[in-house]
Amino acid sequence: MLSEGSSLIVSPTNANLDRAAAALARGELVGLPTETVYGLAANATDPLAVEKIFTAKGRPTYNPLIVHVAGVDAIAQVINLPDGDRRAVQLSQLSAFWPGPLTVVGPRTAAIPDVVTAGRDTVAVRIPNHPVALELLRRCPFPVAAPSANVSNYISPTRAEHVRDGLGSAVAMILDGGDCEWGIESTIVALGVPSVQLLRPGAVTVEQLAARLGISITVPTPANSQRDLLPRAPGMLPSHYAPTTPLRLSEDVPFAPAESIGSRDKTPAWGRIAFAPISAQESAQYRIVEVLSECGDLDEVARELFSALRRLDSLGLDLIVIDVCAETGIGRAIMDRIRRAARQKPG
Ligand code: TXA
Ligand code: MG
C-alpha cells in the first residue's frame, strides 16, 4: 500500500489540480500529462522557476522551451503580432488545430523572459488537448513552460511513471493523466513570409496543415535540414530521444542476428521493435520482440513507440533493431524520432 504523502504521482482531482497550480505559482515544477508526451511544467513568467527545468533535465540553456496556454485568448500574452501582419493570418488559420498537438513559433511578447526562449526574439506556444493539462492551465494566471519531462536526450515520457523514473526528485508532484494519446511530441511550425516552415514533424501532419488550411508549408529535406533547422530549432540536435542501448533500423541490418553469430548456441541479446507482427521464424532470432500494432496502424505505433524503447532499453540488450515506415502522414514524425534515436552519440 502506498503511504499518503510518499506518492509523487497523484490523480487529477480538483484538490490536486489546485495544489499543482499553487506549486507552479510558488516556482516549483510539476509533471504534466498532455496528449503528446508528459511535460515538465513551470511558470513561464518566473525565470527562477524556468531555470529549474534546465537544471533538472540537464538541458543546454540554448535550447528554448514551449509555452502552454489554455485557450486562443491567451496566445496574445505570448505571441506578439500586429493586426495586418501576414503571420497573424497564418496564426489564426493554424489555431484551427488547437487545442491539439501543434506548436507555433512566432515573435514573443515582453511577458516571456529570455530564459524561456534562450534569448531569441521568437517563442514557441501551443494549447494542449488533454483535459488534465487544460484544467491545470485554466487554474494558472500565467503561461506554463514545459519541455518533455525526460532527462535531456533520453526518450520522452508517455506515462506518469516515466516522469517519476527520470525526474522524480525535481518535481513537487506528477499529475497522472494515463497513457498519452499520441505518444510523440507536437508538430512545430514557424510563422513566416512567404510560408510557414516545418521545424519538427509530429502528430499534426504536413498533409493536414497544407490541405485543410491551404497554407503552404516549407518542409526541410534531409540535405538541408541540418543547416536550416539547427539555427531555428536548436533542440533538434542529431542525437536525440536516444536509448542507451544501440539502436539500428531494420533496413540497415542486412542479416538476422542468429546467422550473424553462427556458432553461438544461444540467441544473441538483440531485441526487435516491430510495427506489425513478424513471422515466427524471424521472431525466434531475437531475445525479445515487441509488436507495436497488430495491424500495422501507425497511430498505434506512435503511441507505443517511446514506451517500447524504454522497456527494451532497460533489459541490458546489446542491440535493438527497429522497423521503418513510409515517411508520410504520422510516419514522417515516427521516422524522424527513430532516425535521431539511432544516430550514434558523439564520443
Ligand atoms: O508535444 C510537445 O511539444 C511536448 C509537450 C510537453 O508539449 N513538449 C516538447 O518540448 O516536446 P521539448 O522542449 O522537448 O521540445 C521543444 C522543441 C525544441 O526542439 C526547441 O528547440 C523547439 O521546440 N523550440 C522552442 N522554442 C523555439 C523557438 N523560439 N524557435 C525554434 N524552436 C523552438
Ligand atoms: Mg524533448
Q: What is the pLDDT of residues 80-89, one digit of tens each?
A: 998 889 999 9
Please give the number of the atom of ligand 1 that sits closest to the Cα of 150.
14
pTM score, whole prediction: 0.93
pLDDT, tens only, 276-300: 999 998 899 899 999 999 999 999 9
Q: Which of 172, 157, 165, 188 is nearest to 309 (CA)?
A: 157
Residue 37 CB less than 6 A away from ligand 1: yes
Q: Round to whole Å and give the CA distance between 161 and 4.
A: 17
Q: Atom 21 in ligand 1: which residue has the minimum CA distance? A: 235
Q: Alpha carbon of 134 to those of 56, 70, 99: distances in Å?
A: 24, 5, 9
Place of cell 497523484: 10
Span 132-154, average pLDDT = 97
Angle at 100 between CA 85 and CA 115, to 5 degrees: 65
Statement: residue 73 has pLDDT above 50: yes
Residue 65 CB less than 6 A away from ligand 1: yes
Place 223 in a pLDDT band, splitting at 50, 70 and 90: low
Choose which residue among 126, 184, 185, 241 to substitute to test ligand 1 binding: the one with the highest number of ligand atoms within 8 A of its C-beta. 185
Place 211 in a pLDDT band, splitting at 50, 70 and 90: confident
**pLDDT recorded at residue 231:** 45
Please give the number of the atom of ligand 1 that sits closest to the Cα of 63.
21
Statement: residue 35 has pLDDT above 90: yes
**pLDDT recorded at residue 256:** 64
Choose which residue among 53, 153, 188, 229 to substitute to test ligand 1 binding: the one with the highest number of ligand atoms within 8 A of its C-beta. 188
What value does the mean pLDDT of the chain take?
A: 90
**pLDDT recorded at residue 263:** 46
235 or 43, higher pLDDT: 43
Statement: residue 229 has pLDDT above 70: no
**Amino acid at position 55, single letter:** T
Cα 186 to middle of ligand 1, angstroms: 8
Q: Alpha carbon of 204 to those of 7, 63, 71, 229, 311: distances in Å?
A: 34, 22, 18, 19, 26
**pLDDT recorded at residue 240:** 60
Q: Which of 49, 47, 27, 113 is nearest to 77 (CA)?
A: 113
Question: Positive or negative CA dihedral for 324, 250, 247, 61?
Answer: negative
Helix (H, G, I), strand (E, B) or coil at 218: strand
CB 130 within 8 A of CB 17: no
